[in-house]
Amino acid sequence: MFKKQFQLAAIAILAVMLVMSGCGKSTDNNANNNGGSNNAGTNAGGAAGTKDITVNAENWKFDQTDIKLNVGDTVNLTLKNTSGNHGLEIPDLKINIKDGETAKFTVDKAGTYEFVCSIMCGTGHADMKGKITVS
Helix (H) or strand (E) holding 98: strand 95-98
Comparing 15 with 101, the larger pLDDT belongs to 101
pLDDT single digits (tens) 88-109: 999 999 999 999 999 999 999 9
CATH number of the domain residue 43 falls in: 2.60.40.420
pLDDT-based confidence at 32, cuts 50/70/90?
very low
Strand ranges in the chain using DSSP code E only, listed in sequence order: 50-58, 61-62, 66-69, 74-81, 87-90, 95-98, 102-106, 111-117, 129-134
Please state the domain count of the chain. Answer: 1
What pTM was estimated for this model as a whole? 0.65
Rounded percentage of the chain residues whose pLDDT exceeds 70? 65
Within 13 Å, how many C-alpha atoms sit on residue 21's CB side? 6
pLDDT single digits (tens) 34-47: 333 333 443 334 45
Pick the range with the lowest mean pLDDT from 1-5, 11-15, 84-88: 11-15
Q: What is the structure's pLDDT at 1? A: 63
Q: Which domain holds residue 102?
A: 2-134
- Asked whether the predicted pLDDT for residue 85 surpasses 50, the reply is yes
Q: What is the structure's pLDDT at 117? A: 97
